[in-house]
Amino acid sequence: MNTTQSNKGEQLISIQINVVKDDYEPQVKKELNKLQKKANVPGFRPGMVPFGMIKKMYGTQATIEVLNSLVSETLNNYILENNLDLIGYPLSDPDHQQPLDFDNQDSLDFFFEAALRPDINIDYSKVNIDFTHVIADDAAIDKTINEIVERNPNVTHPETVGEDDILELKVREAEDGKELEDGFQKEYVMLSMKDIRTKTNKKRFIGKEAGSEFIVNFANILTAEKAAQMLGNDAPADSDYNIIIDDIRREEKPELNEELFKKIFPNQEIKDLDAFRAAVKEEMEKQYTSETDRILLTKMIDGLIDNTPFNLPDEFLKRWITENNQGRLSAEDVEKNYETNYKKGLQWQLIEDRIVKDNMDLAIKDEEVNAFIRSQIFPGLDYNTMDDDMKGRIDKIVESYLKNEEQVNNVKNQLADIKITQFLKTKVKINYTDKTYDEFVKQLEEENKKS
C-alpha cells in the first residue's frame, strides 16, 4: 500500500492511496469465512455452505467494507504522521477518482481532496469598535433598591391574623361542617390575605389566633386560578374545607440600614445609604456588562473577520458542508447561503482557533467546566469553603450533569465565549459611549429596524 500527496491549487491537496490485492484479500477471506460459519442457506446444513457460494453472495459487500476500513485507517494515519493541518476532513476527489472494478483490477487507487488551513496573521490594532457602556442612572438604582426592599421583608410571627399577613394552613375537605374521612387533604398550604377577594371574607380571618380551626370554601373567597394554584389542580374546586392556622407570617418593609446592607452585600462593610447605592450601581452595571458582552462579542468578531484577510477554498468547503449535513442540506441551499451564513462562521472558527493556539490559557479545562456547572446549579455557594461531605454530594450532582454530552458542549461553548470576550476586550480598541439601559434598548430596537 502506498500513499502520496500532490498540490491541487491554493490550500488544496490531493491524497492518493494505492491498494493492491495482497493488502486486502486476506482480510476479505477472513470475513467470508466468518460468514460461512454462520450462513443459513436452504439446502445446506448450517456452516456447510460452499465457500464459493458465500463469496458469490457476499464477496463484493465484504470487499467494500474491508477496503473502507483499510483506506480510512490509512488516510487517518497519513494525516497524523505528516501533521497536516486541515479544514474539516478530506472528501473523495471528484477530479481523479475513477470507478473501481474489484474483480478485474489488481491495483486500486483512492483519491481524496483536502483543504489546508490558511496562515492567519491577526492584527488586533486594526479593529476599532464603537460600543455602549450601559450605566445605572438614579432612576434605575431607585427601582432596583425598591425591588430589593420588596424581596427582603422583615418577618415576624404575630399571635393574631392581620389584614396583609400570610397564613400557613392545614386543609381537610369537609361536608356539613365535618371533615371527610377519605376527602382531599394537604399540609403546608400558604394563603395570602391579599388574595382574599372581599373585606367581608377577610373579616372571617382577621383577629384569628394561630391554632384556630374553621370551615372555608376557597372557591368563594379566592379566584378559581388562585385556589387551584394554592391547593393544586387535583383538589375539588367547590368543596368546603376545614382549615387549621398553623402559623401567621407578617412581612414588613425593612429599613435601609446596616442590617439590610449586610444581608445584601455580606462581604462588604457598608455603613450608609450612599455606599449602598454605589454598591447596587456597581452590581447593576456588572449585570448590564454581562448582558451586552454577547452583542460586543459579535461586533468584535465582525471586526476581526473584516480586518484579517485570508483565502478559503470555497468550492471544496461548499461540498464539505453539504456532505457533512447528511442530506439535511442540498448543494443548492449551501450555494445560496454560503456567503451570508456559512463562510463567516468558518472564517471566525479559523481565527478563533488561531487565537486559542497562540494563547493556550483560553483553552477550556475540565475543572473550569465543573466549576461553571456548580455555579449554575448552586449559585452563590462557595465550593472551596464546604466540608468534604458537602463537596462529595455536589460532585455527584455535577458528575451526573456531565453525562449529558449536549449539556456539556453547551457549557463549553458558553465558557469559550466568556473567555474569548474578556481576552478580545483587552486587545481591540473599543470606543465606549455611556447610555442608560432604556437608551441602550431603544438603540437596539432602532438598529434591528434598520437591519
Domain match, 279 and 330 both: yes
Q: Does one domain contain both 210 and 171? A: yes
Please tell me whether residues 373 and 446 are part of one structural domain: yes
Close Cβ partners of 233 (under 8 Å, ≥ 6 residues apart): none
Residue 128 domain-assigned (yes or no)? no
My answer on whether 317 and 219 are in the same domain is: no
With a threshold of 0.95, does the pTM exceed it?
A: no
91 and 230: one domain?
A: no
Contact 406, 398 (CB under 8 A): no
* 227 part of a folded domain: yes
Contact 135, 122 (CB under 8 A): no
Residue ending a domain, among 252, 277, 302, is 252
Alpha helices in 101-174 (DSSP H): 138-151
Domain-embedded: residue 135: no
Asked whether residue 57 falls in the same domain as residue 26, the answer is yes
Q: Which of 61, 96, 116 is the last residue of a domain?
A: 116
Residue 429's H or E segment, with its range, is: strand 429-436
Q: How far apart are CA 382 and CA 399, in angstroms?
A: 18
Write the CATH number for 209. Answer: 3.10.50.40
> Quick check: helix, strand or coil at residue 288?
helix
Domain count along the chain: 3
Identify whether residues 272 and 390 lie together within a single domain. yes
Per-residue pLDDT of the chain (451 residues; tens, 9 = 90+): 899 999 988 899 999 999 998 998 899 999 888 888 888 888 787 778 888 888 888 888 898 999 999 999 999 999 999 999 999 899 999 888 777 777 778 888 999 999 999 999 999 999 999 999 999 999 999 999 999 999 999 999 999 999 999 999 999 999 999 999 899 999 999 999 999 999 999 999 999 999 999 999 999 999 988 999 999 888 998 899 999 999 999 999 999 999 999 999 988 999 999 999 999 999 999 999 999 999 999 999 999 999 999 999 999 999 999 988 877 888 899 999 999 889 999 999 999 999 999 999 999 999 999 888 888 887 777 777 778 888 888 888 888 888 889 989 999 999 999 999 999 999 999 999 999 999 999 998 988 887 6
Answer yes or no: do 321 and 446 share one domain. Answer: yes
Which range of residues forms the domain containing residue 368?
268-450
Of 252, 254, 258, give the one whose Cα is nearest residue 273.
Answer: 258
In a domain, 309, yes or no: yes
